[in-house]
Structure 1
Amino acid sequence: MSAKVPLVRPISWLAFLIIILVWIIFMAIFVVLFQFNGIYIGSIIFFVLSISLQQIIPASQNKGMKAIKKNDFKTALEYFNNSVDFFTRYNWVDKYRAITLLSTAKMSYREMALCNMAFCYSQTNEAEKAKDLYEQILKEYPNNGIAFYSLNSINTFSNKTD
């Protein structure tokens, strides 16, 4: 049972402003060092750093998303589990992701990985595991709309088959 991969990317506007501020600081530093060309050099270095941080640090998360796009949900589960482990161990990286990852994501990477794991369980006909995980997500992140609506869907469909 495979469904099209849902992509939800809510933005934290505070994180967006922080990232813009960091970008301005980069440009200012390089303007002092290289004068007029510093704007370009600072911007290029900022964007290279931004892309690098978002590819290297959450590598397991990115690999999990690629596996989902290939409908390889078992492999994706392994990657998302690694991502949960990493962001649980280094929760400060996730907490300050606007600076550490230059990410505007409103949802934490750990929270995303848990939601993606539950989605994978639902795609591999492990509805009970998906349900349990969505319930866990709602305990940790009570405002998670993905878990709320997915759990409602599971409960609705399981009630119809009873």
Structure 2
Amino acid sequence: MRINSAARIALACGSPFNWSGALSRVLIVDDESGIRFALKRWFERQQWTVVEARDGHEAIEALDGSVALSAPFDLVVCDLHLPGVSGEDIVLRLRTDHPALVAKVILTTGDAIDDAMPGSVLATHPHVLQKPFDLVTLRAFVERLQTN
């Protein structure tokens, strides 16, 4: 099912649209290279600077490094299920270390969102994309975050 998701993303890359410069740096966190590649390609076509992380440990390093370099991320697209440090762990850590960034995290998951355990990040986070998703939906999420 995730392979199909990557294929759908790659096919739906489409042409760039105007971001009005409000957002420019995105961190893509997914352990599946096909999904990372497709998302990277799509964001780059939208004129974004893309940083990739294969797992939660790489994501934490990238997040901490971006703050140290005074080049914070404007958006994070993060898979919920990652080896080692999960997407939920990343969101919980951001709540403590970088609280302003939590509102700019889009979680992606193949889990049924309606079946999420009450109180979990999946149940409480406002920006969750159910896999497989299309780029029209991703675009709507990003545009909504841009205006907030």
TM-score by length of 1: 0.32
More helix by share: 1
- Superposition TM-score, scaled by structure 2 size: 0.34
- Structure richer in strand, relative to its length: 2
